[in-house]
């Protein structure tokens, strides 16, 4: 059995910098037509110069002229409307991190004072710059996303013309919130479609499956699966592929992030095939994102075939992917 995917898009990708970028960029560029690149570098991407320079570094490492890095800025409440207008052509979205909730998010938003955030959110709304949000509170780890839903609702209600993307949703609560507000959208990762907290910590601890937000309960995964498998029109694939060197994962104080980009399409094909939903995969990995973000990425066709594929133990001698050393039922035959 064979399927062809046109312009696969990854709507949430951590490409990092330097060695990680050299390893990750060519891998994403091989099978994806484009990716929304997260700005949580150290220091975060907050200026036009930094966006443009980062984009150049990505293109330099991607070694694939048909790959489009869609850039993001790290949200700051002191951006002026003039600044946003001048940077608009260089970015596709702005990513908001609550302070300290995940990797390199220390410079994020403290508290959610809508009065403080309003000027930037109004300007984004007017300029039609979507807001991508890492929606977690500082509460108990399993409840952080659910506790954040009222904040999403407040944002959605107060800024009805602002497109708000709930990034890497992990709960049934978030799936349900999607349909309550016209301007709420979501990305779903590969790993949250496959795993629950049991896979991370139910047996021997699996550091390579540890990420933020943490994987949740079986009923949460079921709700995510249902939305993805039917390619709910407000849902997009966003891998949240987040490489860390092996020594940062297999360590006390394990870094959060699962590396999935190079095996994502193969594993998605396996999952959609298993559930008899292969016909919807094109919408989940590309068409919905094209509509939501109004983008027209370069043409690319990725052909996958149902043949056993042995996942590498490591990439670039330092990053361990999800399913490392295991077998997936689908492999990429050609991409171009
Ligand atoms: C991401 C990273 O490492 O940059 N980590 C993660 O666990 N997902 C940041 C993020 O998206 O939360
Ligand atoms: Zn992320």
Q: What is the pLDDT of residues 73-106, one digit of tens each?
A: 999 999 999 999 999 999 999 999 999 999 999 9
Per-residue pLDDT, 174: 98
- Residues with Cβ within 6 A of ligand 1? 14, 40, 102-103, 134, 211-212, 240, 242, 256-257
SS3 13: strand
* pLDDT, average across residues 268-278: 98
Q: 336 Cβ partners below 8 Å, 6+ apart?
A: 66, 300, 301
Catalytic annotation, residues: 240
Alpha-carbon distance of 207 to 200, in angstroms, equals: 7
pTM to 2 decimal places: 0.98
Q: How confident is the model at residue 291 (pLDDT cuts 50, 70, 90)?
A: very high
- Reply yes or no on whether the pLDDT at 63 is more than 90: no
Residue 329 CA to ligand 1 centre (angstroms): 27
Place of tokens 């390893």: 23
**Alpha carbon separation from 245 to 56, 138, 242, 312, 325 (Å, rounded):** 23, 26, 10, 15, 17
Contacts 24+ apart (CB under 8 A), 49-55: 51/87, 51/90, 51/91, 52/90, 54/17, 55/90
How high is the mean pLDDT of the chain? 97
Residue 307 CA to ligand 2 centre (angstroms): 30
- Reply yes or no on whether the pLDDT at 66 is more than 90: no
Domain architecture of the chain: domains with CATH: 9-256 (3.20.20.140)
Per-residue pLDDT, 111: 86
* Residue having the nearest C-alpha atom to atom 9 of ligand 1: 103
Alpha helices for 16-70 (secondary structure H): 18-31, 48-62
Smallest CA-to-CA distance from 12 within 27, 30, 34, 29 is with: 34
């Amino acid at each position: 059995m064979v399927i062809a995917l046109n312009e696969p898009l990854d709507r949430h990708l951590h490409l990092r910098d330097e060695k990680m970028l050299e390893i990750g960029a060519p891998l994403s560029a091989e099978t994806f037509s484009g990716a929304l690149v997260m700005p949580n570098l150290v220091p975060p991407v907050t200026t036009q110069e930094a966006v443009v320079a980062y984009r150049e570094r990505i293109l330099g490492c991607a070694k694939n002229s048909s790959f489009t890095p869609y850039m993001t800025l790290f949200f700051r409440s002191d951006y002026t409307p003039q600044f946003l207008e001048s940077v608009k052509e260089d970015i596709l979205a702005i990513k908001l991190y609550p302070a300290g909730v995940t990797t390199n998010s220390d410079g994020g938003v403290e508290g959610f004072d809508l009065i403080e955030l309003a000027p930037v959110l109004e300007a984004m709304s007017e300029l039609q710059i979507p807001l991508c949000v890492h929606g977690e509170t500082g509460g108990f780890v399993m409840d952080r996303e659910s506790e954040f839903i009222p904040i999403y609702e407040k944002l959605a209600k107060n800024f009805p013309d602002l497109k708000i993307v709930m990034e890497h949703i992990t709960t049934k609560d978030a799936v349900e919130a999607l349909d309550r507000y016209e301007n709420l959208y979501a990305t779903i990762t590969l790993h949250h479609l496959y795993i629950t907290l049991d896979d991370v910590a139910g047996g021997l601890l699996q550091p390579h499956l540890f990420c933020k937000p943490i994987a949740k309960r079986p009923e949460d995964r079921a709700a995510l699966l249902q939305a993805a498998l039917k390619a709910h029109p407000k849902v997009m694939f966003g891998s949240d592929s987040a490489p860390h060197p092996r020594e940062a994962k297999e360590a006390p104080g394990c870094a959060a992030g699962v590396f999935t980009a190079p095996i994502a399409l193969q594993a998605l094909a396996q999952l959609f095939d298993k559930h008899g939903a292969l016909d919807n995969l094109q919408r989940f990995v590309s068409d919905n994102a094209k509509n939501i973000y109004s983008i027209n990425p370069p043409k690319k066709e990725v052909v996958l075939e149902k043949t056993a594929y042995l996942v590498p133990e490591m990439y670039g001698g330092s990053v361990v992917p999800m399913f490392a050393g295991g077998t997936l039922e689908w492999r990429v035959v050609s991409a171009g």
